[in-house]
Amino acid sequence: MKGFSAHRHGVVVGMLLMLAACSRGAPPDNSGPTAGWGSWGGEPGGQRYSPATQITPENVRGLKVAWVYRIGQATAAFENPPSPQARRKLAEGYTPEGLKLPALEATPILEGGRLYLCSNTNRVVALDPQTGRELWAYDPKIDRAGLVLMNCRGVSYWKDSQATAGAACAQRIFVGTQDARLIALDAADGKPCAGFGHDGSVDLKAGMGEVVPGEYGPNDPPAIVADRVILGGRVNEDMRADMPGGVVRAFDARSGALLWAWNPLPPPVAGATTSAPGAPPAAANAPAAPGAGEPAVYPRSTVNTWSIFSIDVERKLIFIPTGNAQLGIYGGTRGLMADGRDDGRDYYASSVVALDALTGKVVWHFQTVHHDVWDYDVPAQPVLFDFPTAHGKVPAVAQATKQGYIFILNRETGEPLVPVAEQPAPQGGMVPGERLSPTQPAPTNPAYVLVRPPLTEKSMWGFTPWDRGKCRELFRSHRYEGIFSPPSLAGTITYPNNLGVMNWGSVAVDPQRGLLVVNTSHVAGITRLVPRGEANQLFAQGERLMAQIGTPYALQWAPLLSPWGAPCNAPPWGTLVAIDLHAGRKLWEVPLGTTRDLAPFPFWFKLGTPNIGGPLVTASGLTFIGAATDNYLRAFDTRTGEELWKGRLPAGPQATPMTYRLSPDSRQFVVIAAGGHAYMRTTLGDYLVAFSL
C-alpha cells in the first residue's frame, strides 16, 4: 500500500506540473509577421486591422500586463483663471463655470521603433515600445481657460524625404492643441522644429475672427499626405450662433505655410446668402494662395470638423466627417430657414466629404442627416476598404453615424454601394422659427441599421416595478415620434441620444474574413428648448444649460434615466456587432461591458453598458476592445463573438487599443490608454497599459 501511495503521489504531482505548464501557455510562436501601427486608425484608411498573429484565440488567455506608463493629465479644476474675454462669455451663460472634465482617449502610434502619444493636456511623449520607458516629453503648456472636456486623441508622424539622414526634424511628430496651435516636434528628441511656422508652431486662430479661449481647437491627429498637414477643428457646440468657422486647412509639412483652405459652404448661387451672419462673404472651396499674407476671415459658424480624417494615399483623397453648423439643436438661424431661405450652412453638415488633398477642392459629399436638429453629426473616422460585390471588389468607405446607420459608399464617387432610401420624417409641432426636412436617408439593408426599434411606454425598463413605473411616467410626459422626433418646448425623447449609437471609435474591418466589427450604445435622452426668459431665470439659479446665444432658446439635455440612475430603455445598453460584408447580414451581436465599476457588489450584471472607444481586429481572428464603463480590455473571437479574455485595468478604457510586433524575435503587444471619461463616470487615471504573452 505504501508503494501504491507513493506512485499515486507521483502521478498527482506530475498532473499538477502539467497543469501549471498549461496555465503558463506554450511559448509564443515567432513564425508570424511583424506589424506596426503607423496612424491613429492603424493605417491612413483607418481599418484598425493588424496582420499580427502571435496572439491567437487559442493562447489569448495567457495575456498578462507587460508594462504600465503614466502620462500625467489634468483631473481637477484648472489652475489658469479665465481671461476677461472668457469671463464676459461666462457671465452670458456661454459655458458653465466649474465644468472642467478630463478624458484620456489617445491611441498611440508606432514609427521608427518608438511609441508616440499625447495626454489630455497635449503633453506629447515618446516611449520605448518594449518597456514603456519614457524617451522624451514635450509640454506645450496649453491655455486651459474655457476648456470643457479636455482630450487629445493622438499625434501624427511624417518623414521628410528631402532631409539628409540624421538631420534635425528629418522625422516629425505633429500635434494640434486645444488652444488652437499646430506644433511640429523632432521625433528624435521632442524639440520644436524651428523652421516650421514660428519656432515650431502655427497659430490656427489666424483668420478665424473672434475666438473666445477654449471654444476652438483640434482634438484629433492631423492627416498627412503629399507633404501636407491637414486638419480642421472642433468648436464648443450649442453655445452661441456666432462661432469660429469650420475651415479645413492644409499646411506645408516643412515650413508650416498655408497651402489651401476649404470653407464648408457651397459655391455661391445668385440671390443666396453664402456666409454666416456677421461674416464677410467668402468664396467657398477657394484655396488660399500660399504666401499671400493673412487670409480673409473664414465664414463664421460653418460646420466644424471635430473627428478624425482618413486618407486614400494612392488617389490623394482625404475623407472628412463633418459636424453641425452652429447652432445644432435649434436650426432657425442656419440652413433651412423658416422664411424659405437657405444660407448654405447645412450643405456640408452631417456629411462625409471627399476632398482632393492637393488642392482642397470637393470631389464628392454624402449627407447622412438633412437639416440636423438632433446633434446627429458624423462622429466617426471614415474607414476605407475594398467592398465585395457580385462584380468584384470596389474601393469603398464605411461611415458610421450617431443615428445608428452605417453607410457604405463608393470611395471614388460617393454613390451608395448598399442602397439608401429617403424615409419620411416627423413634421408636426415645430418650435417657432424652425423648419424640418421632410425625409431622412437610411440604408435599406437592415444589417447596416443598428439603431433599436422605436420605444414604447410598455418597453420602458427597470430593476423593479417601481422604477419601471417612474420611467413610464417620464415617457408619457414627453414627446416621442421615433428616431427623428423634433425638439420641442415641452421636452422630446431622443433615441438614440446625442452621444449616438456609434461615436468617434468608428468601425474595424477584417479584410481577410470580410467582416466589419463595431461597438454600439443604446441610451435615450430628453432634449428641451427653453425660451430665453425662462433660461435666464434658470441660469441665475445655477442651472446648467447650453446657452445657444443668438437664438430665442437655450438647450436643456439629460439622459432618460430611472430614479436609480439606470437607462429607462431596456438593456443591453452596449453591444459589439459583426457584419458579414459578403452576405450583407449581421453575423453576431453580443453584450459589451458589465456594471462592475458603476455599481456596488452584488449588483454586477453583464447587461452591456454604454461605451466610447473603438475596436481593433487582428489576422489571427481576435477583436480587442475596451470602451465599456467597466475597467477591462477584452478579446473576442472575431468569427463567433465569444468573449475569450479580459484584462483588468486601473481606470476606464474610453479609448481604442492598438497592437504591434517589432521584430521576428519579439513579442506582440496590445496597448490601450486607461484614463477614464468624466461624462461616462468611469474611473479616472493617466495610464497606458501594455499586454503581451
Q: Which helix (H) or strand (E) holds 658?
A: strand 658-661
- Cα–Cα distance, 110 to 129 (Å, whole number): 8
Is there a contact between 666 and 130 (Cβ–Cβ < 8 Å)? yes
Question: Cα separation of 190 and 182, whole Å?
Answer: 14
| Parallel/antiparallel/unpaired status of strands 101-102 and 149-150 | parallel
Locate cell 471654444: which residue?
215
Q: If you count DSSP H runs as helices and E runs as strands, how many of each does the chain have, helices first? A: 4, 41
- Could you give the CA distance from residue 353 to residue 368 in angstroms, rounded to a whole number? 11
Q: Which of 69, 68, 98, 83 lies closest to 678 in space, CA to CA?
A: 98
Give all strands of the β-sheet with 114-118 in edge-to-edge order: 109-111, 114-118, 124-127, 134-138
Residues 524 and 490 sit within 8 Å (Cβ to Cβ): no
> 549 forms bridges with which residues in the sheet?
240
d(CA 261, CA 295): 9
Task: Provide the pairing of β-strand 134-138 with 124-127.
Answer: antiparallel
Half-sphere exposure of 688 (CA within 13 A, CB side): 31
CA 262 to CA 454: how far, in whole Å? 39
Q: Name the residue among 364, 246, 262 with its Cα closest to residue 312.
A: 364
392: left (phi > 0), else alpha (psi -120 to 50), else beta? Answer: left
356 is catalytic: no
What CA–CA distance (Å, rounded) separates 27 from 350?
49
Q: What is the DSSP letter of 18?
A: H
Q: Residue length, the chain?
A: 693
Concatenated DSSP letters of 174-209: EEE-TTSEEEEEETTT--B-TTTBBTTEEETTTTS-
Out of 179, 238, 346, 375, the active site residue is: 375
Residue 677 · residue 612 · CB < 8 Å:
yes
Rounded Cα–Cα distance for residues 400 and 319 (Å): 13
The three cell numbers of residue 575 are 453591444
Q: Which residues pair with 559 in a beta bridge?
A: 525
Q: What residues act catalytically?
A: 375
